[in-house]
């Protein structure tokens, strides 16, 4: 089934160049040959693998295109699996796969229908940019999407980053907070790129020779220990208010004072016994 590949995402980040601060002249990275001691253009540059310090094996683009792999010119489906069984850390950039020509239209539609009806995704292997890759095929509306995937040995284990073992009790309050923040979609102002917007405001202000806007500092109370649950409650209230929902939050259950009262009674009894054991003073 011949297909064409198109990027499914766009990058709207603000891009910067490097400049010489003294005169704002552009600083560029130039391609330089160490042996001939001169700058070379793109047509003179190729790929190579450094076998030893003195020996480099040249690899041409034609050799990469003609790799002896069954996936060199095709996407080979290996298995169908539930999406929930795929670690999100392995999923990368997404690309739309479009049928290339009328011949590919029918098998493309059949594959899309098979994926849609099975409620599963397909794991596939393919060659791209000089290496064999793992991919994930899924349905998005009427199109098939290919996500680049990392091989299992490319995902690091988090064990070396984890903190020492600590005891933690289950909190129904924390669980109720997570339920109150549950959403059906990722729409709304909370999911907009405010960082890029802030950068654009700074650039526009400097272009007009105005003072760039500054971020408002949050009110801080020095010397006060942060209550994690209180901070979480406040965060939930702000999130729900911004969505126009009722910001009612359940109060944390108060600790029962029964044990404390019993402890006080025990202390009083012990004090009374201690007093009775004292010897009377002589006259």
User: What is the average per-residue pLDDT within 44-54?
Assistant: 89
Average pLDDT over residues 147-155: 88
Domains of the chain, each with CATH number or no CATH: 69-152 (2.40.290.10)
Torsion (CA) 218, 219, 224, 226 in degrees, nearest 10: -40
φ and ψ at 222, to 5 degrees? -65, 145
Which tens digit of pLDDT belongs to each residue from 165-221? 877 666 555 566 566 666 666 566 666 767 777 778 878 887 888 887 776 665 655
Alpha-carbon gap, residue 150 to 134, rounded angstroms: 6
CA distance 174 to 180: 10
- Other CB atoms within a 10 A radius of the CB of residue 80 amount to 14
pLDDT at 247: 47
What's the CA gap between 236 and 152, in Å, rounded?
36
Query: H-type helices in the chain, by residue range?
Result: 61-65, 105-118, 172-180, 194-207, 228-242, 258-276
Residues 6+ apart with CB under 8 A from 116: 139
Q: How many residues does the chain have?
A: 283
Token pair, residue 5, equals 């590949």
Handedness of CA 229, 231, 237, 239 (dihedral sign): negative
Residue with tokens 């539930």: 82
* pLDDT bracket for residue 283 (50, 70, 90): very low
The residues near 38 (Cβ < 8 Å, ≥ 6 apart) are 32
Predicted TM-score (pTM) of this structure? 0.54
Residues 6+ apart with CB under 8 A from 70: 76
C-alpha–C-alpha distance, residues 223 and 128, integer Å:
56
Q: Which two tokens stand for residue 13?
A: 């980040």
pLDDT over threshold 50, residue 17: yes
Which tokens in the block code for residue 152? 């299992």
- The pLDDT, as a whole number, for residue 274 is 47
Q: Please, what is the Cα angle at 280 between 278 and 283, to 5 degrees?
A: 155
Handedness of CA 263, 264, 265, 270 (dihedral sign): positive
CA nearest to 144, candidates 115, 101, 123: 115
Which range of 93-102, 213-222, 232-241, 265-274 scores highest in mean pLDDT? It is 93-102
Nearest alpha carbon to residue 212 among 224, 198, 195, 230: 198
Q: How far is CA 255 from CA 54, 125, 176, 229, 259, in A?
A: 73, 57, 18, 15, 10
- pLDDT tens profile 88-144: 888 888 999 988 888 888 888 998 998 888 888 999 888 777 678 889 999 998 899
pLDDT of 229 strictly over 50? yes
What span, in angstroms and rounded, lies between the C-alpha atoms of 57 and 128?
20
């Amino acid at each position: 089934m011949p297909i064409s590949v198109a990027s499914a995402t766009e990058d709207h980040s603000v891009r910067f160049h490097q400049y010489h601060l003294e005169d704002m002249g552009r600083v560029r990275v130039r391609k330089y040959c160490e042996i001939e001691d001169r700058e070379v253009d793109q047509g003179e540059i190729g790929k190579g693998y450094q076998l030893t310090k003195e020996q480099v094996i040249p690899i041409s683009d034609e050799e990469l295109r003609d790799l002896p792999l069954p996936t060199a010119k095709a996407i080979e489906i290996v298995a169908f699996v539930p999406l929930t069984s795929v670690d999100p850390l392995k999923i990368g950039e997404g690309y739309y796969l479009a049928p290339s020509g009328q011949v590919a239209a029918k098998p493309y539609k059949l594959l899309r229908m098979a994926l849609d009806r099975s409620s599963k995704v397909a794991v596939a292997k393919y060659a791209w940019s000089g290496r064999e890759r793992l991919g994930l095929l899924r349905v998005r509306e009427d199109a098939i999407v290919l996500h680049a995937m990392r091989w299992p040995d490319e995902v690091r284990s988090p064990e070396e980053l984890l903190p020492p073992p600590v005891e933690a009790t289950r909190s129904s309050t924390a669980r109720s907070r997570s339920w109150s923040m549950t959403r059906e979609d990722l729409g709304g102002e909370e999911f907009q790129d405010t960082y890029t917007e802030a950068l654009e405001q700074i650039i526009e202000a400097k272009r007009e020779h105005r003072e760039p806007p500054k971020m408002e500092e949050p009110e801080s109370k020095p010397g006060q220990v942060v209550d994690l649950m209180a901070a979480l409650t406040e965060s939930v209230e702000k999130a729900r208010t911004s969505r126009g929902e009722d910001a009612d939050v359940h109060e944390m259950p108060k600790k029962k004072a029964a044990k404390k009262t019993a402890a006080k009674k025990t202390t009083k009894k012990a004090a009374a016994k201690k007093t009775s054991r004292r010897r009377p003073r002589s006259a």
